[in-house]
Amino acid sequence: MTGTGEPSRAAEPRRVPPRPLPVAVDTMGGDHAPEEIVAGAVDAVRKHDVRLVLVGKAARIRRELDKYGYVGKIPIVHADEALDMGEGALASWRKPRSSIAIACHLIRQGRASALVSAGSTAGVVATSRLRLKGQQGVMRPAIAVTLPTRPRPTILLDAGATADVKPETLVQFAALGTAYAQILLGPDRPTVGLLNIGAEPGKGNKLAKRAHELLASGSHGIEFAGNVEGHDLLRGRVDVIVADGFTGNVALKTMEGTIGAAFTEIRDAMTSSPAARMGALLQRRRLQELRDRLDPDTYGGGVLLGLNGTVVIAHGASRARAITSACELAHRLAAGRIVERIREQVAATRTSRFGRRTHAERESADRPEEKRPSEGPPPPREPAADTVPDRKEPPATP
């Protein structure tokens, strides 16, 4: 941790907190790569003091950095290839030297804490699943997005990483969302709602009904607040909304599309007569603020949770400002030790899930291995990561 030319205070008796690892930024993904990506990265360093490493074509990055006088001030790791925006999951196999793959590699080597990319969601998800691997104990990853509710945002997950899930996966998503909300929003016990088609417990499809039962059993450290419906998405009733990736994605895009359509219609209505146009002039600033707040480019982007490292997926259309926010978010999640928090949350969920299922579990649950020593989060250490939980779960069949 020292030896990087920092003023080290090693002689002092008290322990110096380790300097945070840098966030790896994929400079080659996104509609406006690399110009806007590098511009956003420079701002993240300059204004927010986030440590970064830029991944992509070195010469090109240097040329961009030169515009801001930042050559040599942000480290660069060269990558030859990029995933095209149209490329999906397969590209992650075909291009092992893509900028995203290299960024994942940095995380695995312990040289970066997280990764930011504005590449195609499918490509980023597939590559990072392949390279970072699922975090121990987590069945499937989920994309968490932040909805622009007030007074504080609501987290929706899964927004599209995992389309087919089991009820138990939804319980895990609740754990992932809880960990994320603790870091992002602050509350110790964020409330979790299940996206469903009715408020009462018996509502929904088979998946939602069973997930409701599991969540309502209340023995896994999740503050379950019951079902929420589509019209609750923007009401801020809960901190976290859990859904399968299919439903979550449809809901998110429906919300974004409706906001867009509403603004278009309102603009039309506002400029439909001279009087109305005059009115619109008087309101321009306020409406622009509102428009900004509801713009996916502001609140947008998602975080892929459940892997051995944090992956922040910015919108493909991201401009510098969105990239700066994404870098900040990645830094904040890494500093909040999101991977470790998720592991703790998920371990609690697993316990109770199996506990609910068969009596046989109870005996084996007494064994001492509950407490895994200090198996570390993403990059540096990662010793006996997959030892523990497998032991406490004699199969669920009677």
- Which of 14, 15, 206, 371 lies at the binding interface for a copy of itself (CB under 8 A)? 206
Q: Where are the beta strands (DSSP E) in the chain?
A: 23-26, 52-56, 76-78, 114-117, 142-147, 154-157, 191-195, 223-228, 240-242, 302-305, 310-313
Nearer to a copy of itself, 34 or 160 (CB): 160
Q: Which of 6, 31, 265, 369 binds a copy of itself (CB under 8 A)?
A: 265
Residue from 259, 317, 335, 365 touching a copy of itself (CB under 8 A): that is 259
> Is residue 233 near a copy of itself by the rule CB under 8 A?
yes
Count of residues of this chain found to bind a copy of itself when the rule CB under 8 A is applied = 59
Say what angle helices 35-48 and 58-67 make with each other, to 10 degrees: 60
Q: Map the footprint of a copy of itself across residues 152-191, applying CB under 8 A.
A: 160, 163-164
- What is d(CA 398, CA 394) in angstroms, rounded to the nearest whole number? 10
User: In the window 186-205, what residues touch a copy of itself (CB under 8 A)?
Assistant: 195, 197-198, 200, 204-205
Contact between 255 and a copy of itself by CB under 8 A: the answer reads: yes
**Phi, psi (5° rounding) for residue 291?**
-55, -45
Q: Which is nearer to a copy of itself, 254 or 364 (CB)?
A: 254
**Min dist. Cβ of residue 138 to a copy of itself (A):** 19
SS3 223: strand
The conformation of residue 219, written as its DSSP 8-state character, comes to: -
Minimum distance from CB of 45 to a copy of itself (Å)? Answer: 34
Which one, 253 or 362, has the nearer CB to a copy of itself?
253
CB closer to a copy of itself, 68 vs 263 = 263
43 in contact with a copy of itself (CB under 8 A) = no
Is 262 a binding residue for a copy of itself by CB under 8 A? The answer is yes
Q: Is residue 256 part of the contact set for a copy of itself (CB under 8 A)? A: yes
Q: Report phi then psi at 120, rounded to 5.
A: -60, 135
Q: Token digits for 205?
A: 């499809």
Spatial distance between the Cα atoms of 53 and 35, rounded to a whole number of angstroms: 16
Range 216-220, long-range pairs (CB < 8 A, 24+ positions)? 217/352, 217/356, 219/352, 219/355, 219/356, 220/171, 220/175, 220/348, 220/349, 220/351, 220/352, 220/353
The residues binding a copy of itself (CB under 8 A) are 88, 122, 160, 163-164, 195, 197-198, 200, 204-206, 208, 229-235, 243-247, 249-263, 265-266, 269-270, 272-273, 275-276, 278-283, 286-287, 289-290, 294
